[in-house]
Structure 1
Amino acid sequence: MFNRILVVCVGNICRSPMGEYLLRQKLTHRPEITVESAGISALVDKPADSMALTLLEENGVNAGEHRARQATETLLGQADLILAMEEGHLRQLHKMAPQVRGKTFLMGKWIGDREVPDPYKQQRPAFEHAYKLIDQATDAWLKYLDK
């Protein structure tokens, strides 16, 4: 059973907040599941990127309370499932906390092991592409989380 899910990217202001808040919304009927996010090199205490917030809001998701935080060995250890955006993130997480190797996966695992490219400092189409992949990936994870 996955009761605590951690979504990880680099800065914790674009992709992982989108993943966190989308997954939260899709799991509202499962209040025992906690979904959080963090960054490998987080822009600590920064809000989510304005374009990420806009796309979430356009899809009925409010992430205005988000503040970036750093992934730590303790935080990783507390998670039952860790979802990263890129293969490189998985490698960094395994270096940071080798004991999490068995519970770290790509967010896009169930959509062909797709990585979610970083839209940071890019235009809306890059964010829309990342959002679409995250939306598809979170939908695909639901059959494993919604038991």
Structure 2
Amino acid sequence: MLDRVLMVCVGNICRSPMAEALLRARFEGRTGARVESAGVAALVGRPADEAARELMSARGIDLSTHRARQLTPALISGFDLVLVMEEGHKREVEAIAPGARGRVQRLGRFGGFDVPDPYRQGRPAFERALALIERGLDDFEEKVWKVS
């Protein structure tokens, strides 16, 4: 079962907190499920970006308690699957934790896309990122989680 999932982006204030919250909602009630997030260059201690908080709030999800944290080998070791937003993040995660190779996948793997960083790009960029995150989660749900 791949029910322990770590979402990773750069700063851990935009994409990965949204992905974490959405997947946590999808996994609600699933025994043994654990979903968290971190950043390869986290803005440690910062809250989720305001645009991310607003978009998630519109979906009934509260990101107000989120605080960015740095990705570490110890953190990675506690997860079955590490989902990154961009192909470059995959290489960064594997450099931080070589033992994670094989457990690190790009969220857009099945659709062949990256989720571009919306940081300081305005609300439309956040809306696009969120749509891609949802598409990636839909793909993983269909191809991975429903069969595991």
Query: Is the pair's TM-score, using the shorter chain for normalization, greater than 0.5?
Result: yes
Mapped to 1, the partners of 2:107 and 2:91 lie a distance apart of 14
1:140 Cα shift? Answer: 1.5
Q: CA deviation at 1:3?
A: 2.8
Which position in structure 2 is the counterpart of 1:129?
Answer: 128
CA distance in 1, matches of 2:26, 2:78: 22
For the structure 1 residues 31 and 45, does the alpha-carbon distance in structure 2 shift closer, same or farther, using more than 3 Å as the test?
farther
Letter in 1 for 2:9: C
Amino acid at match of 1:81: L
- Could you report, residue by residue, the CA deviation over 1:8-57 in whole angstroms, capped at 9, with x for unpaired residues? 00000000001000001111131421000000000111110000010011
CA distance in 2, matches of 1:119, 1:37: 17
5+ residue gaps, structure 1: none
- Say yes or no: does 1:115 pair with 2:114: yes
Segments of 5+ residues of structure 2 without an aligned counterpart are none
Q: TM-score normalised to the size of structure 2? A: 0.94
Aligned length: 146
For the aligned residues, what is the CA RMSD? 1.0
**What is the match of residue 23 of structure 1?**
23
Report the secondary structure of 2:83's partner residue. Answer: strand
Runs of 4+ in 1 over 3 A off after TM superposition: none
TM-score, length basis structure 1: 0.95
Structure number with higher helix proportion:
1
- Aligned residue identity for 1:59: R
Secondary structure of 1:109's aligned partner: coil
For structure 1, which segment, 56-65 or 119-128, has the greater mean C-alpha deviation from structure 2 after superposition? 56-65
Report the equivalent of 1:32: 32
Percent identity, please: 48
